[in-house]
Structure 1
Amino acid sequence: MGDTQPRTRRVHREAGSSAAAAAPRRRVSILGVLGEVLITAGVVALLYVSWQMWIGDWIIGAEKHKEASALSQSWMTPSPAPATPEASDSPTPAPSDSPTAPADPVIPVQDQQEHGTQFGVMFVPRFGPEWQFTIASGTSRTDILDQGEIGHYNDTAMPGGVGNTVYAAHRWTSGAPFDPIDKLVIGDAIVIQTPDGWYTYRFRTLEYVQDTQVEVLLPVPQQVGVAANGRYLTLTSCAPKLNMLERIIAYAVFEDFTPAASGPPASLAAPTQGASA
């Protein structure tokens, strides 16, 4: 009987010691779970960024290349041959001895298009033989740029028109059409195809500006109050890729127009073939 009470106290003390020892293990376990959650969240974030920067861009870019190629091919499908006129009994007029001056080449220019309308395909041989993207009217982020399109500023000239035809696209995510814009070399061809044919421009220079510097959209880029006196092309995108406060600008000048009936121009065959003055 005398030993029961001390033994009971020892049991209680041992039980209390065990409970006290178990408490830190419970706290360590909670910290461990929290650490695992944070690690998992970090891995998920890394995978998302990887998807956005590489995998997603590659997949979207490949899809847009196919879409642009299909549109380009549809414009190269020959139209039905016109009917042969019936023979006429009228005499054939005699040729004139007076020389005939060659007619100036006519450069067709499309009208401004409705927002979101795909009206062209852009090719830049410097960016690779598979690089081609559709051009849509407008520069809305959600329904044009984020869809992997090259957007055309509505208030600027259409391809081949006198003035400045200006385009925007992403360098990061959504297929990143303008990712390699900083790789352009003087004289590189920038070609726009429409149902009428191909408009070839030649790259001149790069410039970095603030996002508020809208003078790059003027009829003569950066020349306030100057009337359009030539045919220019301007490409705009973010610089650096994740910076929304600055823009990289590529300027080009018009070289020539190749009618659709003549087939693809020589300017598509190589990145640089020399630029005209």
Structure 2
Amino acid sequence: MRGRVPVVVRRQRRGRARLLLARGLWGAAETAVTLGVLVLLLVAHQLWWTNRQAREGAERQVRALEREWARGSAAGRAGADAAGTGPGASSGREGTDREEPRAPGRAEAGRGTPGSPAAGRPRAPRWDRAYAVLRIPRIGVTVPVAEGTGKAGVLDRGYVGHYPRTARPGEAGNFALAGHRNTHGEPFRRLDLLRAGDRVTVETAEARFAYVIEKTLPQTSARDSAVLGAVPRSSVHPGRGYREPGYYLTLTTCTPEYTSRYRLVVWGRLASVRVRGAEEGRGAE
């Protein structure tokens, strides 16, 4: 009998070891499943929830700006009518719509357009504040434009951001914007689909500026800051961009998708300006 005791003890130890191993494997499996679920939730949050929240917020902001501008236009018309200078007032000429005025030519660059300092436009908007609406019919984009390119205050809210120290809408120089390509509303998801001749409009409280797309730089370094210059051109890809002053629009986003390694750049040029109020029968002067 005494000779059988060690055998029984060894079997008990083996049983306990197997039980501990099974429990460990089960715990590891539970941990892996939990981590997998968390990863899936994170992906869903980034790819679906942030888009939904940002798009809804951006749409509300666009509607708020449009209401604000409509109230301002109504107040302006009422004041003009009271002063006898409204569309219905006798001025010696009919108050009919006019064709959109053409953008200033090269010889006029720097003289100022409606909405420029030379035309007495308002001060620059506050940081992170939405003050314009960008519309790109080709890719179905209608999105607010805010001052600055910070993530929390601008880009992650589904807005596009105006690069500081670049021109304002309609000004001589380069009006440059940035937007997310993926997540948080991804307004520039399909920016690569824009082609020469596509129309882009920027509307502010003062005017509507129409730009026409002319050039695309499919990929350049994130440090290629020359694409944001007053005369935009690439310092990485010689020959890509412009060589003379003008009224430019630059749209930038990350590329390839789901990375931030490079930048995709689209350039356009100002084609026309419509001063707010022209739609009511008074053309831009």
Question: TM-score w.r.t. structure 1 length?
Answer: 0.77
- Give the CA deviation at 1:104: 8.8
Pick from 211, 214, 222 the counterpart of residue 211 of structure 1: 222
Stretches of 4+ moved more than 6 A in 1? none
- Give the CA deviation at 1:189: 1.5
The answer to whether the 8 A contact 2:114-2:207 is kept is no
In structure 1, the residue matched to 2:248 is: 232
CA distance in 1, matches of 2:115, 2:15: 86
CA distance in 2, matches of 1:22, 1:254: 79
Larger gyration radius, structure 1 or structure 2: 1
- Secondary structure, aligned partner of 2:21: helix
CA distance in 2, matches of 1:206, 1:221: 12
- The letter of the residue matching 1:262 is A
In structure 2, the residue matched to 1:79 is: 74
- Give the CA deviation at 1:236: 0.8
RMSD: 2.9
Pairing 1:1-277 to 2, within 5 Å after superposition: 6=1, 10=4, 13-14=7-8, 16-77=10-71, 78-80=73-75, 81=78, 82=80, 83-85=82-84, 107-109=114-116, 110=121, 111-128=123-140, 131-207=141-217, 208-222=219-233, 229-263=245-279
Task: Name the CA shift for 1:223/1:50 in 2 (closer, same or farther; >3 Å).
Answer: closer
The answer to whether the 8 A contact 1:204-1:252 is kept is yes
- Give the CA deviation at 1:240: 1.1
- Give the CA deviation at 1:243: 2.6
The answer to whether the 8 A contact 1:201-1:252 is kept is yes
CA distance in 2, matches of 1:165, 1:138: 12
- Secondary structure, aligned partner of 2:277: helix
- Give the CA deviation at 1:53: 1.5
- The letter of the residue matching 1:159 is P
The answer to whether the 8 A contact 2:254-2:263 is kept is yes
CA distance in 2, matches of 1:52, 1:41: 16
CA distance in 2, matches of 1:195, 1:250: 25
Gaps spanning 5+ residues in structure 1: where?
Answer: 1-5, 86-93, 96-102, 265-277
- Give the CA deviation at 1:137: 1.1
Task: Name the CA shift for 1:182/1:37 in 2 (closer, same or farther; >3 Å).
Answer: same
- Give the CA deviation at 1:145: 1.9
- Give the CA deviation at 1:218: 1.0
CA distance in 2, matches of 1:143, 1:55: 18
Question: TM-score w.r.t. structure 2 length?
Answer: 0.75
Question: Per-residue displacement from partner, 1:228-268 (whole Å, max 9, x unpaired)?
Answer: 6221100111111333221000111111112222349xxxx
CA distance in 2, matches of 1:40, 1:173: 24
- Give the CA deviation at 1:199: 0.6
The answer to whether the 8 A contact 1:163-1:228 is kept is no
- Give the CA deviation at 1:10: 4.5
Question: Per-residue displacement from partner, 1:8-38 (whole Å, max 9, x unpaired)?
Answer: 7647743541332231121121122112202
CA distance in 1, matches of 2:17, 2:244: 80
- Secondary structure, aligned partner of 2:164: coil
Deviates more, 1:159-168 or 1:137-146: 137-146
Question: Per-residue displacement from partner, 1:163-208 (whole Å, max 9, x unpaired)?
Answer: 1100111112221121111121222211111001211111122212
CA distance in 2, matches of 1:240, 1:16: 61
CA distance in 1, matches of 2:147, 2:187: 16
The answer to whether the 8 A contact 1:69-1:132 is kept is no
In structure 1, the residue matched to 2:88 is: none
Gaps spanning 5+ residues in structure 2: where?
Answer: 85-91, 94-100, 104-112, 236-241, 281-285
Task: Name the CA shift for 1:160/1:249 in 2 (closer, same or farther; >3 Å).
Answer: same
